[in-house]
Amino acid sequence: MPTHEETTFGREEIIVSKTDLQGRITYANDVFVRVSGYSRRDLIGKPHALIRHPDMPRAVFRALWETVEQGDEIFAYVKNLAADGSFYWVLAHVTPSADAAGTPVGYHSNRRLPEPSAVRAVEELYAVLLAEESRHATGNAAVAASSELLASLLAERGVTYEEWVWDVINSNGGIR
Residue pair 16/32 in contact (Cβ under 8 Å)? The answer is yes
Asked if pLDDT for residue 171 goes beyond 90, the answer is no
**68 is a domain residue:** yes
% of residues, the chain, pLDDT over 90: 90
Do the domain assignments include residue 112? yes
Quickly state the pLDDT bin for 91 (edges 50, 70, 90): very high
Residue 95, in any domain of the structure: yes
User: Residue 176 pLDDT more than 90?
Assistant: no
Summarize the confidence of residues 6-33 as an average pLDDT: 97
Residue 137: give its domain's CATH number: 3.30.450.20
Tell me if 8 is assigned to some domain: no
Q: Tell me the pLDDT band of 29, cut-offs 50, 70 and 90.
A: very high
> What is this structure's pTM?
0.91
Q: What is d(CA 159, CA 176) in angstroms, rounded to the nearest whole number?
A: 24
Q: Number of folded domains in the chain? A: 1
Is the per-residue pLDDT at 105 higher than 60?
Answer: yes
What does the H/E/C string look like for the chain? CCCCCECCCCCCCCEEEEEECCCEEEEECHHHHHHHCCCHHHHCCCEHHHHECCCCCHHHHHHHHHHHHCCCCEEEEEEEECCCCCEEEEEEEEEEEECCCCCEEEEEEEEECECHHHHHHHHHHHHHHHHHHHCCCCHHHHHHHHHHHHHHHHHHHCCCHHHHHHHHHHHCCCEC
Residue 96 is assigned to a structural domain of this protein: yes
pLDDT at residue 173, as a whole number: 54
Range of the domain at 128: 15-171
Q: Given a cut of 80, is residue 41 above it in pLDDT?
A: yes
Q: Is residue 4 part of a domain?
A: no
Has residue 2 been placed in a domain?
A: no
Asked if residue 1 belongs to a domain, the reply is no
- Return the pLDDT at 172: 65
